Amino acid sequence: MDIFDQFTFKQDLQVRWMDLDPLAHVNNSIYIQYFELGRGKYMSAASPTWDWHKNMFLIANISCDYKRELKLTDHNPTVWVRTMRFGGKSFDLEYIICTEREGQTILHAQGKSTQVMFDMKERKSMEIPEWLKNEILAYEKEGSIL
C-alpha cells in the first residue's frame, strides 16, 4: 500500500528564500511551520463547523523525521495531513511533505502531532466533541483512523 493511500487532504506549499539555511535547503524548523499551515487548512476542510475561537486545541507534542533535503528549486512541494488517532481528549495528526521530480513523488519529511482539546473558559483540557469526531471521520478515508 502506498503511503498516500491513507491521506485525503493536501496543501500546496511555497518554499521561500527566507526558509533556507546556509546550506541552501529548508531549515529544519520551517518544516514545523509547514505542518502548521497544513494543519490549519486541514481542520477547515475536514470540519466545516470548526470555529477556532470556540473550539481550541493545544499542541502537546510534535515531531518530524527528515528524509531528504528540500530545496527552493524542488517542484510542487505539498504537505499532506490526516487524522490517525482519536483519544478521549486528544487526537493525532500525521504529516508528509513531498515534491515531484520526473513523474516520481519524493518524500522529504514525515511528522506527527498530538492535539489536546482545551476549554478556553475553564482553562483546562476537555473531551473531543462528538460533532468534531463525526465530521473528521466523514472526511477521512474509511478505516484510516484508529
DSSP E strands in 17-144: the ranges are 56-66, 75-86, 90-101, 104-119, 124-125
User: For residue 144, what pLDDT band results from cuts at 50, 70 and 90?
Assistant: confident
What DSSP letter does each residue of 85-98 carry, written as one string? Answer: EE-SSEEEEEEEEE
CATH code assigned at 71: 3.10.129.10
Is residue 144 assigned to a domain? no
Is residue 3 assigned to a domain? no
d(CA 90, CA 137): 15
pLDDT at 1: 54
Is residue 91 assigned to a domain? yes
pLDDT tens digits along 37-95? 999 999 999 999 998 888 899 999 999 999 999 999 999 999 999 999 999 999 999 99
Distance spanning both ends of the chain, measured CA to CA = 17
Burial tier of 49 (Cβ tally within 10 Å: 0-12, 13-18, 19+)? exposed
Is residue 2 assigned to a domain? no
Assigned C-alpha cell, 76: 510542487
Is residue 146 assigned to a domain? no
Is residue 28 assigned to a domain? yes
Is residue 4 assigned to a domain? no
Number of structural domains, the chain?
A: 1
Q: Can you give the residue range of the structural domain that contains 120?
A: 12-139
Is residue 145 assigned to a domain? no
